[in-house]
Structure 1
Amino acid sequence: MNLILETDRLILRPLDLSDAAAMFAMDNNPKVHKYLWQNPTQTIEETIKTIEYVCSQYERNNIGRFATILKETGEFIGWTGIKYIDDHIENGNTNFYDYGYRLDEKFWRKGYATEASIAWLDYGFNQMNIDIMNAYTHSQNGASNHILQKVGMKFVEDYLDKDSVLWKWWQMNNPKDN
């Protein structure tokens, strides 16, 4: 996949194996996983498998989560992007576009998630012509819930996952369809 998006401060590019060490450091942090099933990655091999899986999504769906790089330093700060959910059921849905992100703790509260979200929603609606973008967040993740609302996503409903954990379901219609 050769898509690269840029914002004022970020480069959004496909994940590759060179991101494994930085991604492992992020996903090994229990604070990063506080609202993500509380299951931090334990080995870099797990991270490599995740990157390989994301790369297979690029081939299968021509989209997926992307490495998010700070332009100023070249640092991997996390991943952001659109994923086509066709590998599981979420809130009774499958075969839908989902927007999501995960940032390393040291890059929280700097506006990067909002900046990347705006770029991805623009790309999804204007280049991919997606009709409806979905997202889901842990109900207690105030920061992520705030960001999704800030970028124009609308809260639809609360739902329980298979482990009876409460999540929030968000959606945004393509602005061109209004």
Structure 2
Amino acid sequence: MTFHIETDRLLLRELRDTDLEGMFELDSNPNVHRYLGNKPIQTKAEAQKILDSVKQQYQERGIGRFAVIEKDSGDFIGWSGIRLNTEYNMNGCTKYYDVGYRLIERFWGKGYATESGKAAVNYAFNIMKLPELYATTEVGNQASHNALLKIGLHYVNDFYFEEEQLDLRWYTIKNPNL
């Protein structure tokens, strides 16, 4: 499956095996995982499993997270995009599309989460014609909370996610075209 979405500063495309080094840098960083249950990966084999899982989602669900590439440098800076969640019961929802992002720490604070998130929402509503999207953050992750609000999502409530033992916030946005 091939995706190609451009913003002013970013290119969003399908994740590839060539993204392994970037994925390892991203998910092995404890600071990146501070609000994700503090479980950074330890090996490149674990990073490859993540890539393989997303590529399998492309095949089985027609969508999965996108690689985020900084146009000026050509650097892999993380992932963003839409995912069909069927694995978890999240705040009472068992099958839903969510928008999310995860960026390498050196690219934080540049507005890339918001920029890529807006592009993902646009893709979900205008190309996929989805009626609604959801998102979550850990309660203490103020930067992600702010990014989701800038993307256009609305805070709904806090809840406890038993499976990962995390206090999370729940967000939603409805497709204004439907």
Q: TM-score, length-normalised on structure 1? A: 0.97
Which residue type is aligned with residue 137 of structure 2?
Answer: T
Which residue matches 2:170?
169
69-78 or 85-94, which deviates more: 85-94
Which residue matches 1:20?
20
5 Å matches for 1:82-93?
A: 82-93=82-93
Query: Which 4+ runs in 1 deviate beyond 4 A?
Result: none
> Post-superposition shift, 1:172?
0.2
Which residue matches 2:32?
32
> Post-superposition shift, 1:73?
0.9
> Post-superposition shift, 1:81?
0.5
5 Å matches for 1:101-112?
A: 101-112=101-112
Which residue matches 1:133?
133
How many residue pairs get aligned? The number is 177
SS at match of 1:42: coil
Which residue matches 1:142?
142
Which residue matches 2:61?
61
Which residue type is aligned with residue 146 of structure 1?
Answer: N
Which residue matches 1:113?
113
Confirm or deny that 1:74 pairs with 2:62.
Answer: no
Structure 2: gaps (5+ residues): none
Distance in 1 (alpha carbons) for counterparts of 2:5 and 2:166: 34
Distance in 1 (alpha carbons) for counterparts of 2:87 and 2:60: 11
> Post-superposition shift, 1:173?
0.5
Which residue matches 1:3?
3
Distance in 1 (alpha carbons) for counterparts of 2:22 and 2:116: 18
Deviations 1:123-168 (A, max 9, x none): 1111111111000000100000001111210111100011542100
Distance in 2 (alpha carbons) for counterparts of 1:165 and 1:53: 23
88-97 or 45-54, which deviates more: 88-97
SS at match of 2:58: helix
> Post-superposition shift, 1:25?
1.0
5 Å matches for 1:33-48?
A: 33-48=33-48
> Post-superposition shift, 1:106?
0.3
Which residue matches 1:155?
155
Confirm or deny that 1:49 pairs with 2:49.
Answer: yes
Distance in 1 (alpha carbons) for counterparts of 2:94 and 2:66: 21
